Amino acid sequence: MTPDGEEVGDQITILLIEPNPGDTRLFTESFKDAKLKNKLYTISDGDAALDFINQRGEYAAEPRPDLILLEPKLPGKSGMDVLSELNNEPALREIPVVALMSSEIGEDIIKSHGFDADQYVQKPVEAEDFVNFVQEIEDLWFAIVQEPSTEE
């Protein structure tokens, strides 16, 4: 961000996969207020998320996301199913996925079920905390694009 509040960097396409309409609204409003240039798309279930990511059906003309924010508990195909399909497709596995956790212990629970996202972030509880959350996502994005990934 610049000191005068101008947006910096290239526009990124963010796909939020979140079934809770209240959280989706808070995410959307917070991202609109953020200084990170972005285009935020929201999807509420796993099946539609996979269609969006794969640019199928009604989402054929939509851009492939640069970053995915994924709630693991989804109607339809689960977050685990979405992540599995991403990891099994070479063209999709490079998209960074941030798992949205509902609690501090959520990461351990999700990992114990084989869910392997790039990052884990606890979702805010209070509406006013969403601004800090968006800043955390912005910081993660800059870390992802500035640090090349290393294979183990």
pTM for this entry:
0.79
28-33 own/partner pairs: CB under 8 Å, 24+ apart = 29/130, 30/130, 30/131, 30/133, 30/134, 31/134, 33/131, 33/134
What is the percent of the chain with per-residue pLDDT over 90, rounded to a whole number?
27
Edge-first strand listing for the sheet containing 36-43:
36-43, 8-17, 67-70, 97-101, 119-122
For residue 147, is pLDDT > 60? no
pLDDT digits (tens, 9 = 90+) for 83-112: 889 988 998 988 999 888 776 655 566 666
Correct CATH for 13-135 of 3.40.50.2300, 3.40.50.300, 3.90.480.20, 2.30.30.100: 3.40.50.2300
Backbone angle region of 36, left / alpha / beta, with phi > 0 → left and psi within -120 to 50 → alpha: beta
What is the pLDDT averaged over residues 23-50?
Answer: 84
Contact 70, 79 (CB under 8 A): yes
Query: How many other C-beta atoms are found inside a 10 Å radius of the C-beta of residue 100?
Result: 26
**Most confident among 21-25, 37-41, 58-62 (mean pLDDT):** 58-62
